[in-house]
Structure 1
Amino acid sequence: MQSGTLPTPIARVGDGCTQLWLRTAPVRDRIRDRFAVDTRSLAAVRIALGLILLVDLIHRAPFIEMFYTDGGAYPFAAYELTYTQYNGLSIHALSGDVWFQQLLFVVAALFAVAFVLGYRTRLVGAISLVFLFSLHARNPALLNGGDRLLRVLLFVALVTPLGERWSVDALRRGSARRTVASFGTAALLVQPLVVFTANAIEKHAGDTWYTGEALRIAMANDVMTVYLGNVITDYPPVLTTLNYAWVTLLAGSIVFLLLPVGRIRMVAALAYIAAFLGMLTAMAVGLFPLALAASVLPFLPAVFWDTLSRYVPERWGDRLPDADDLGPLERPPIERRVIERYRDGQYDAVVSYGVAYGRSLLTVVGFCVLVWILVFGASDVSGHDVPDEIDYSQLDQQSWGLYAPDPSSSYSWYVPRVDLANGSSIDARTGGEVDLDRPPDASAEYDTFRHRKFMQAVRDSDGGSISQGYADWMCRQASENYGVDAEHVRVYRMIQSSPVDGEFDEEPSRQMVIEIGCADAAPG
């Protein structure tokens, strides 16, 4: 046997593995094509998430004092006693002063702007995630599924190269890859599919979605229905058609979004985005439609951006060369200059090892995120608990039950009545007379959807810390606004059956949620 020649059995094994690898190449290429993401789509995800963060801050800003300070309706005392799984996890809980909360809002907004621009993208995105989680932890009573989806999407997106295109990072780097395929991109693509599929399965457990009746029931909920929704409720056949279309999109998301490529995937992704934007114009569900639309952006293929680029002025075009074609930069980023400096010295092996280790670590993180999405998503829809070793409240974020299994057949609004020392009674929200009649537009009874969520928490508190904090705040507000001491607070929950057939069958019922004297109200 000649030197360097493998023994015959080993050579045959090696040849067999090589042949198997070559034969499976077409399959592997097809799989890769379905999990590869155009880097312009990743840039769109980054910009969309950054803008949603800004919209969220702007939306919350007018109510900073009410929801995030000790002088508001959810003081630190209530924070300590409720949602204890978040205790110690909020920077916003370090102070109950208005100026401190305003400062954190401004800082978070600056990081969100930097994230949109793609400056130090992964670092800035991670800091934005910390601020977002801190804000959520300070007052979980305000949150709905859209907030959780935003938090999860931002976390998953950070394991992908969001700053590869259309970013300050790309300009500093001087190059850009056209597509990326990794465990991170697979996780980013799988996340919305888990949301849609889980929601479709939970809806199947109900009685109305797969019979075409659910959307008509949902749109009869006057608290949740706004703008365009108030128009289409007059057209039951349209609602039935939209009902079946919505269920089809949810149940068929893997077939429509993951399996096709090219133009078919583009058409499917645009259909989903259009559906979510339609939800935004018809339902008061917070950030959910925006987050859902952002989650589908990675499915937009190169053909979409190539077609769109034909209508963009050339001076605005993305002319960065491919990363593999990049020549030497006149002024590389500082981190690259540091790496090259040490490469030229005696630390070349250490630097090479560190770079390789960092890339391998990112691959491992991407794989772990993908497994987390699949495991917790499967646990939610199957009803089986995850192993105790990984059963942690902050990891269990894959429950997606919007309007599932069936939409509610009734809705509620609240009338906060304050009795003043001068013998008069006022509606603490409007300052006018107390009116227990059904309003012409129940959605207008809440300043924002977060007020609706908070009042649900007040109701569920049943005399606990949240309802006590809200009652104390109402007493102080009434005394300050009207110059007369407030003596007594009552909060009524008005419950109305949804007029599914267009007519109200009965008058709203009334339930006492809070009844408390103001003499014992905590000082602001």
Structure 2
Amino acid sequence: MTGDPSLARLRSSADRLAAAGGPLAPATAAARRRLRVDTRALAAMRILLGAILLIDLAHRSPAIAKYYTDSGVYPLAVHEATYTQFAGLSIHALSGSLWFQVLLFVLAGLFALAFAVGYRTRLVGFCSFVLLVSLHARNPAVLNGGDILLRTLLPLALLTPLGERWSIDAVRRGEYRETVMSAATTAVLAQPLIVFTQNAVLKHQGETWYAGEALKIAFANDEMTVLLGNYLSAYPTLLEVLNYGWVTLLAGSIVFLFLTAGRLRAAVALVYIGAFLGMVPTLMVGLFPFVLTASVIPYLTPQFWDAVVRVLPDGVTRSPPAGRLGWWFGGEPIERRLADTLRGRGRGDVVSFSRAYAASLLTVLGVLALVFVLLYGVGHVAEYDPPYEDEATAILDQSWGLYAPNPTDSYSWFVTNATLDNGSTVAAFRDSPSFDRPPDAATTYESFRERKFMSAVSSDNDGAIGRGYAEWACREAASRYDQPVESITLYRMIQDSPVDGEYDEPFRRTLIRHDCNAG
């Protein structure tokens, strides 16, 4: 469909250059074929990213008081004593009250929902990104690689036309492009390649991944495995095959994803997506498989989406008339009404300048984003240090050393005991104060976020994070037993992974001894 003539001319300028012929025309055409992204893929990416934001908020909500208020393990005093790169970036840190955090969670949920359905996509997406950074900055001790990738991928995606198709914006606008190509879409295509290739290089620095042994070690880690993952360690040959398959996907991602096209590229992208979703019933890694899936969706080609449209009922993919959206959504966007008013007053030049300026700004930002992804992504494995690395990667991290260079060959669980005023020792919360190896170490954690936080407590047991946890445990134990608590003792139990099926005795390390009466 067509839109504003000036914008159409801008969009087609690159096409005219490519059509000019010359000795580089075949190479140019091949490159364009691989760099063009179907706008339905961008729409699907937007919907999945919006769903991930909503799922993330829902998953964090039961522990909102524990991790984000002054009554929890990470009060504002601890936040202010420990934050570094995220200094001053958290709106959530303006108050330690529960009502304030709930308000921000609800607000973030509304923005994420609007983003998923494509209502003022860039604006609400930017607001979602600001609140996401704020939430991450409030308590970085509960973040994992999936959170970091989401925080990096979302702003890159916002530079692309995520609302071009399957959105309220598209219905109100009444037009769309079939495919797009820009520096921003190239940056989005490059991001997963940087993640996979960098991780493959870092894994090569170890001894286990390219020897086919790493997944055997990883799935012997009982604090990480869940559901089907608890049974895979009994099939070492299968794990060896999966190990080599995963390394091949990582190391060959540029060839498999970027250099392919058409149906082959779509098929390869689906293989990657299948591998990511295979993590869901096997490993406790949070959002990571879903964000990885979102990052690869732009590689699904028009042939794939055409096949999807043929399978789905007509009403699913056909946009409703604007009037069917209701009075609030159904009218023309306010910016279009403003543009029409200015043209009616003879100020069409202002409209043209504004649109050209906005298009130019997006182009510049897209180029900067592409340079950033490549420069800092390569810099983490190359022999040079990118400029301003700490400052530049505080939010948009490009370090992807996940399970590299080797997976850990041990796992942990934690025991928190309370000594009551009567001298008895009890579990501060949950089960009995036992040091026995649990049947499933993953179940000793409420979620992967608690596992990450307890790792931070272990690393900072003598600092503010350890003190914040101990003071919270004192309050929890006193509430549970309805009597004064004299002290709290936190132990970390370390178990060597039984790759050969035989368990050694776990090692017990005392992390914290805290006098609850000392304040």
Q: TM-score range by the shorter chain?
A: over 0.9
Q: Pick closer, same or farther for the CA change 1:18–1:314 going to 2, 3 Å.
A: closer
Which residue matches 2:144? 144
Which residue matches 1:512? 510
Which residue matches 1:450? 449
Which residue matches 1:487? 486
Which residue matches 2:343? 343
Q: Aligned partners of 1:21 and 1:365: how far apart in 2?
A: 29
**2:24 partner amino acid:** T
Q: Pick closer, same or farther for the CA change 1:197–1:483 going to 2, 3 Å.
A: same
| 1:396, distance to aligned residue in structure 2 (A) | 5.7
Q: Aligned partners of 2:411 and 2:390: how far apart in 1?
A: 37
**1:464 partner amino acid:** G
CA contact (8 A) 1:475 1:518 kept: yes
| 1:18, distance to aligned residue in structure 2 (A) | 11
CA contact (8 A) 1:221 1:411 kept: yes
| 1:286, distance to aligned residue in structure 2 (A) | 1.5
- Corresponding residue SS for 1:202: helix
Q: Aligned partners of 2:184 and 2:92: how far apart in 1?
A: 30
| 1:301, distance to aligned residue in structure 2 (A) | 0.5
CA contact (8 A) 1:495 1:510 kept: yes
Q: Aligned partners of 1:170 and 1:305: how far apart in 2?
A: 18
Residues 337-368 of structure 1 show CA distances to partners (whole Å, capped at 9, x for unaligned) of 21122123332222211111110110110010
CA contact (8 A) 1:38 1:179 kept: yes
User: What does 1:245-260 correspond to in 2, within 5 Å?
Assistant: 245-260=245-260
- Corresponding residue SS for 1:492: strand
Residues 33-66 of structure 1 show CA distances to partners (whole Å, capped at 9, x for unaligned) of 1111101100010010011001111111000111
Q: How many residues align?
A: 495
- Corresponding residue SS for 1:303: helix
Which residue matches 1:462? 461
**1:434 partner amino acid:** P
| 1:443, distance to aligned residue in structure 2 (A) | 0.5
Q: Pick closer, same or farther for the CA change 1:475–1:228 going to 2, 3 Å.
A: same
- Does residue 496 in structure 1 map to residue 477 in structure 2? no
Q: Pick closer, same or farther for the CA change 1:383–1:397 going to 2, 3 Å.
A: farther
- Corresponding residue SS for 1:23: coil
- Corresponding residue SS for 2:361: helix
Q: Aligned partners of 2:52 and 2:506: how far apart in 1?
A: 36
CA contact (8 A) 1:257 1:265 kept: yes
- Corresponding residue SS for 2:381: helix
Q: Pick closer, same or farther for the CA change 1:319–1:91 going to 2, 3 Å.
A: closer
**2:470 partner amino acid:** A
CA contact (8 A) 2:421 2:485 kept: yes
- Give the structure with higher Rg (CA): 1
- Does residue 476 in structure 1 map to residue 456 in structure 2? no
CA contact (8 A) 2:151 2:396 kept: no
Q: Aligned partners of 2:110 and 2:388: how far apart in 1?
A: 39
**1:516 partner amino acid:** H
| 1:509, distance to aligned residue in structure 2 (A) | 0.5
- Corresponding residue SS for 1:86: coil
- Does residue 83 in structure 1 map to residue 83 in structure 2? yes
Q: Please report the TM-score for the alignment, with normalisation by the length of structure 2.
A: 0.93
User: What does 1:365-380 correspond to in 2, within 5 Å?
Assistant: 365-380=365-380
Which residue matches 1:3? none
Q: Pick closer, same or farther for the CA change 1:226–1:101 going to 2, 3 Å.
A: same
Q: Aligned partners of 1:380 and 1:396: how far apart in 2?
A: 13
CA contact (8 A) 1:409 1:498 kept: yes
**2:446 partner amino acid:** D
Which residue matches 2:324? none
| 1:520, distance to aligned residue in structure 2 (A) | 1.6
Which residue matches 1:324? none
Q: Aligned partners of 1:132 and 1:352: how far apart in 2?
A: 34
- Corresponding residue SS for 1:481: helix
| 1:393, distance to aligned residue in structure 2 (A) | 4.5
Which residue matches 2:5? none
CA contact (8 A) 1:213 1:240 kept: yes
Which residue matches 1:267? 267
Which residue matches 1:414? 414
CA contact (8 A) 2:429 2:476 kept: no
Residues 185-226 of structure 1 show CA distances to partners (whole Å, capped at 9, x for unaligned) of 101100000000000000000000001000000100000011
Which residue matches 2:47? 47
Q: Pick closer, same or farther for the CA change 1:358–1:19 going to 2, 3 Å.
A: closer
| 1:391, distance to aligned residue in structure 2 (A) | 4.8
Q: Aligned partners of 2:390 and 2:418: how far apart in 1?
A: 48
User: What does 1:20-169 correspond to in 2, within 5 Å?
Assistant: 22-169=22-169
Residues 82-140 of structure 1 show CA distances to partners (whole Å, capped at 9, x for unaligned) of 02222211000011011111111111011110011100000000000000000000000
| 1:305, distance to aligned residue in structure 2 (A) | 1.1
CA contact (8 A) 1:175 1:320 kept: no
Q: Percent identity?
A: 55
Which residue matches 2:226? 226
- Corresponding residue SS for 2:85: helix
CA contact (8 A) 2:18 2:25 kept: no
Q: Aligned partners of 1:21 and 1:373: how far apart in 2?
A: 31
CA contact (8 A) 2:156 2:369 kept: yes
**1:508 partner amino acid:** P
Q: Aligned partners of 2:18 and 2:463: how far apart in 1?
A: 68
Residues 251-274 of structure 1 show CA distances to partners (whole Å, capped at 9, x for unaligned) of 000111111111100110000000
**2:444 partner amino acid:** E
Which residue matches 1:8? none
Q: Aligned partners of 2:383 and 2:288: how far apart in 1?
A: 24
Q: Aligned partners of 2:473 and 2:85: how far apart in 1?
A: 27
| 1:389, distance to aligned residue in structure 2 (A) | 8.7
Unaligned runs of 5+ in 1: 1-16, 322-329
Which residue matches 2:212? 212
Of 236-245 and 280-289, more deviation after overlay is shown by 280-289
- Does residue 314 in structure 1 map to residue 314 in structure 2? yes
| 1:463, distance to aligned residue in structure 2 (A) | 1.0
CA contact (8 A) 1:422 1:484 kept: no
Q: Please report the TM-score for the alignment, with normalisation by the length of structure 1.
A: 0.92
Which residue matches 1:7? none
Q: Aligned partners of 2:389 and 2:403: how far apart in 1?
A: 31
Q: Aligned partners of 2:23 and 2:351: how far apart in 1?
A: 37
CA contact (8 A) 1:65 1:72 kept: yes
**1:34 partner amino acid:** R
Residues 473-493 of structure 1 show CA distances to partners (whole Å, capped at 9, x for unaligned) of 000111122111110110000
- Corresponding residue SS for 1:397: coil
CA contact (8 A) 1:425 1:433 kept: no
**1:439 partner amino acid:** P
| 1:20, distance to aligned residue in structure 2 (A) | 8.2
Which residue matches 1:423? 423
**1:216 partner amino acid:** K
| 1:429, distance to aligned residue in structure 2 (A) | 3.1
Unaligned runs of 5+ in 2: 1-16, 322-329
| 1:19, distance to aligned residue in structure 2 (A) | 11
